[in-house]
Amino acid sequence: MKINQFLDATYLKTATQASITEEENQQKVVDLINEAILYNYKLVMIRSKYISLAKKMFLESKADFLIGTVIDFPEGNSSTEIKLKEAQKAIDLGADELDFVVNYTAFKEGKIAMIKEQVLKATKLCIENNKVAKWIIEVAALTREEIIVISQLIKEVVLENFDEAAVKKVFVKSSTGFFKTQDNTPNGATFETMKLISENAKPLQIKAAGGVRDYGTALKMISIGVDRIGTSSSKEICTKEKSHKTGY
């Protein structure tokens, strides 16, 4: 298995969140892109302000990784119109994949029509521009039943409005990794939540994000149906796979 092709190598902190300067934060992005060139990751997931930098490095290195960014991140509570405007800007900059934070607060309040409109219009924008759309549902903010319902909702909107080729370009994704939980409970993907998403979102693809930091966990995620893994530990995962193959 080429586990690198399952990995969305991720760095999404702002300079303020990382408590470093803007220059230092940009260097972290540069380091991630260089790592992606070396390890041939599937994708680098970065803030939209760094897309142009990634494109430049991509072209200079003749690498073939994809560039992803996040939309309405991490709260997801902007209007559909704002989401679409932000998404169009990312598309114009050259993003290949867009990870939208669904308005999970509105969903929990029962505003189902709003969520359906959001998923439909933003997915349509991506499909029309030959981009991949991923919907972050923020599992740590949801109950087990809510995870099931929102996964089915996204699936139904996509299956009812897009053809088979388009369906393959839509994901349901677990988490932002930025949600603050109580009592230090997991704020990202767990095996239980990814099984729930897999059972209720397929044939859409699914992405595990938040908390996948080692090779064993990544392998198990793939075994339960995960198609992509968002992680800040891509190098560690790939290095471990290599050591397994060589016996060291």
Please tell me the distance from the alpha carbon of residue 54 to that of residue 44, in angstroms, as a whole number. 9
**Counting Cβ atoms within 10 Å, is residue 35 exposed (0-12), middle (13-18) or buried (19+)?**
middle
Of 42, 58, 134, 121, the residue nearest 88 (C-alpha)? 121
CA distance 165 to 29: 32
Q: Determine if the peptide bond prior to 203 is cis (ω within 30°).
A: yes
Phi, psi of 205 (to 5 degrees): -80, 160
> 44: which strand partners?
9, 67
Q: How many CB atoms lie within 10 A of CB 184?
A: 6
Distance (Å, whole) CA 231 – CA 216 = 13
DSSP single-letter state for residue 44: E
Looking at residue 87, its amino acid is: A
**Amino acid residing at 204:** L
Catalytic machinery residues: 99, 173, 207
